[in-house]
A and B are shown apart, each in its own frame.
Chain A
Amino acid sequence: MLLRPQIDDIKTIGYYLGKIVLGLGIVMALPLVIAIAFGEINPLLDFLIVIGITFSIGFILTTLCFTRKDLNWMQGMIVVSLSWLAAMALGAIPLFLSGNWKSYLDACFDAMSGFSTTGLVLVQNLDHLSYTHNFWRHLIMFIGGQGIVIIALSLFVKGFSGAFKMYVGEARDERVLPNVISTSRFIWLVSIVYLILGTTALGITGILNGMRPVNAFFHGVCIFMAAFDTGGFSPQSQNILYYHCLPFEVITIIIMILGALNFKLHYSLWVGKRREIFKDIETQALFITVMITFFITAIGLHQIGAYPKAIILFRKGFYQLISGHSGTGFMTIYAPQFIKEWNHLAMVGVICAMALGGAVCSTTGAIKMLRIGIIFKALLEDIKRIILPEQTVIVQKFHHIKEIFLEDKQVRAALLITLAYIVLYGLGAIIGTFFGYPFLDSLFESTSAAANVGLSCGITDIGMPAALKITYIIQMWAGRLEFMSIFTLLGFLVAAIKGK
Chain B
Amino acid sequence: MKNSKLKSQKSKVCLVSLGIPRGYPERSEGQGKTQKFRTFKFLLVVFTFYFSLLTSNCFAQSISSSDLINNAKAYDGKIVSYQGEVIGDVMVRGDFAWINLNDAENAIGIWLPKESVKIINYKGSYKQNGDWLEVTGVFHRSCLEHGGDLDIHAASVKKLSEGSKVIEQLNLGKQKATILFLGLALCLGILQILRMRR
Contacts and interface: CB of A to CB of B under 8 A. Distances in A.
Interface string B101-114: 01000110101000
A210 B97 contact: yes
Interface in A259-317: 306-309, 312-313, 315-316
Contacts of A313: 148
Contact of A337 (B90, B97, B150): B150
Given A236-B88, A238-B100, A337-B72, A40 B181 contact: no
Q: Per DSSP, are chain A's interface residues mostly helix, strand or loop, or mixed?
A: helix
B184 interface: yes
A63 B198 CA distance: 13
A410 interface: no
B90 A210 contact: yes
Contacts of B91: 209-211, 243-244
Contact of B107 (A41, A211, A238): A238
A67 interface: no
Contacts of A130: 126
Nearest to B129: A128
Contacts of B126: 40, 128-131
A55 interface: yes
A367 interface: no
Given A49-B181, A210-B97, A315-B147, A62 B70 contact: no
Interface of A: 40-42, 45-46, 48-49, 51-56, 59-60, 62-63, 97, 127-131, 209-212, 215, 236-238, 241-244, 246, 306-309, 312-313, 315-316, 332-334, 336-337, 340-341
Going nearest first, the 10 A-B pairs with the smallest beta carbon separation are A52-B181, A210-B91, A312-B148, A59-B188, A55-B185, A45-B174, A127-B87, A52-B182, A130-B126, A48-B178
29 contacts: A41-B170, A42-B170, A51-B185, A52-B180, A52-B181, A52-B185, A54-B185, A55-B185, A56-B185, A56-B188, A63-B188, A97-B174, A128-B87, A128-B126, A210-B93, A210-B98, A237-B106, A241-B149, A242-B107, A244-B109, A244-B146, A244-B151, A307-B148, A308-B142, A315-B148, A316-B148, A336-B70, A340-B69, A340-B72
Given A51-B182, A309-B148, 17 more contacts: A40-B126, A42-B174, A49-B174, A56-B184, A56-B185, A59-B185, A97-B174, A127-B102, A127-B107, A210-B93, A212-B89, A236-B87, A237-B87, A238-B100, A238-B107, A242-B107, A243-B91
